[in-house]
Amino acid sequence: MAGRSQPLTFSEATSSEAFAERFSAGRDTRLVELLAAAVTHAHDLIKQFRPTQDEWRKFIVFLTEVGHASDERRQEWVLLSDLIGASALVEDINSRRPKGATPNTIRGPFFRADAPERASASSISLDGIGEPLLVSVCVQDLDGLPVADAEVVTWQANAEGFYENQQPDLQPEHNLRGLFRTDVQGCISYRSVVPSGYGVPADGPVGRLLSAAGYPLHRPAHLHFVVRAKGFETITTHIYDASDPHLHEDALFGVRPELITSFDPVEVDGRSTKAVKLTFVMVRAKPGRAA
């Protein structure tokens, strides 16, 4: 620090300052501030709870296990961020929108960027297992005008609560995933199956830790969407089944009143099915801000 000829001696009382004063002058100020603040909070927790060496080693082992559990099909770090509400908080800070616009939620750990493009009115259920669901989507702007040629990407769990990339040996590749493009009216439709709610994976280090602490790991039944269109902010969101009993304790903090809707029974071609009609309202991207 300015005015001190000798560096601070590290101790319980000076630990945070001793760390912060080692940064070289002229470095990225934002990065330095974030690192110093993170370390200060970590040191404060250590001082408050005073873990033993064995307890601290268990924490390091937990972080190591999270890294080992992450691969191209499973991202345990994303799951940890999601379950502690960090992902939802970052999303909320960065995607505030005017009243009437569809709110963003987090993507979740089972998103795939390679969803195949499908024709409107086609089915994303490649195995046909589950109660039929007809999904109708219209995309519009804040003035109620249709957004044509918007990309609507969707993915969901199956009737047993599993995503295709959780069960690569049991479900067809890209089952219950698809990319659609809206017509001149800003609309698309597709056929699927009614998704089930599910428990967040508890077979990894994150799930085991939170389960041991009695934390609820429920996710209410939902559909995922990413909606993109030139000149608009991208929507990343969920639609939740209003009948699900776990709406009040979504483990990923994604439930918003405007994202809850009914999956209603209807007759289609003489067959009993369920249907949901959705409208996504997009906001025009601000100048200089990436869509």
Please give the distance of CA 121 from its chain centroid, rounded to a whole number. 27
CB-CB contact of 211 with 217 (8 Å):
yes
- How many Å apart are CA 265 and CA 23, to the nearest integer? 62
Q: Are 192 and 249 in a shared domain?
A: yes
Quickly state the pLDDT bin for 4 (edges 50, 70, 90).
low
CB-CB contact of 76 with 66 (8 Å):
yes
Lowest mean pLDDT among 23-27, 113-117, 194-198, 282-286: 23-27
Neighbours of 127 (CB within 10 A): 13
Q: Are 103 and 188 in a shared domain?
A: yes
Q: 109 versus 215: which is more confidently predicted?
A: 215
Domain residues for 35? 1-50
Question: Phi and psi dihedrals of 267, rounded to 5?
Answer: -110, 125
Q: Are 45 and 81 in a shared domain?
A: no
Q: Is residue 287 part of a domain?
A: no
Q: Is residue 60 part of a domain?
A: no
Quick one: pLDDT at residue 72?
75
Query: Tens digits of per-residue pLDDT, 13-62?
Result: 999 998 888 887 767 788 889 989 999 999 999 999 999 999 999 999 99
Q: Are 102 and 29 in a shared domain?
A: no
Q: Is residue 173 part of a domain?
A: yes
Q: Are 93 and 179 in a shared domain?
A: yes
Q: Which of 32, 50, 68 is the last residue of a domain?
A: 50
Q: Are 235 and 167 in a shared domain?
A: yes
Quick one: pLDDT at residue 1?
47
Query: Tens digits of per-residue pLDDT, 98-155?
Result: 999 999 999 887 899 999 999 999 999 999 999 999 999 999 999 999 999 999 999 9
Q: Are 42 and 88 in a shared domain?
A: no
Neighbours of 210 (CB within 10 A): 19
CB-CB contact of 220 with 247 (8 Å):
yes
The residues near 185 (Cβ < 8 Å, ≥ 6 apart) are: 138, 146, 148
Tokens of residue 16, six digits: 């945070």
Q: Are 46 and 83 in a shared domain?
A: no
The DSSP code sequence of 91-155 is HHHH----TTSPPP----TT--TTPPB--TT-BS-SS--SSEEEEEEEEEETTS-B-TT-EEEEE
Tokens of residue 272, six digits: 């009993």
- How many Å apart are CA 260 and CA 239, to the nearest integer? 6
Q: Is residue 64 part of a domain?
A: no
Q: Is residue 289 part of a domain?
A: no
Q: Are 33 and 92 in a shared domain?
A: no
Which segments of the chain does DSSP mark as H helices, in order? 15-20, 29-49, 53-68, 76-83, 86-94, 205-212
Q: Are 98 and 240 in a shared domain?
A: yes
Residues paired with residue 232 on neighbouring β-strands, in sequence order: 284
Quick one: pLDDT at residue 201?
79
Q: Is residue 264 part of a domain?
A: yes
Three-point CA angle 180, 94, 144, nearest 5°: 50
Quick one: pLDDT at residue 46?
94
Q: Are 42 and 99 in a shared domain?
A: no
Q: Is residue 59 part of a domain?
A: no
Asked if the model's pLDDT at residue 68 lies above 70, the reply is yes
Q: How many domains does the chain have?
A: 2
Query: Tens digits of per-residue pLDDT, 165-174?
Result: 989 999 999 9
Predicted structure pTM score: 0.82
Q: Are 158 and 40 in a shared domain?
A: no
Question: Phi and psi dihedrals of 34, rounded to 5?
Answer: -65, -45
Q: What is the CATH number of the domain that holds 257?
A: 2.60.130.10
- How many Å apart are CA 5 and CA 229, to the nearest integer? 57
Quickly state the pLDDT bin for 202 (edges 50, 70, 90).
confident
Q: Is residue 67 part of a domain?
A: no
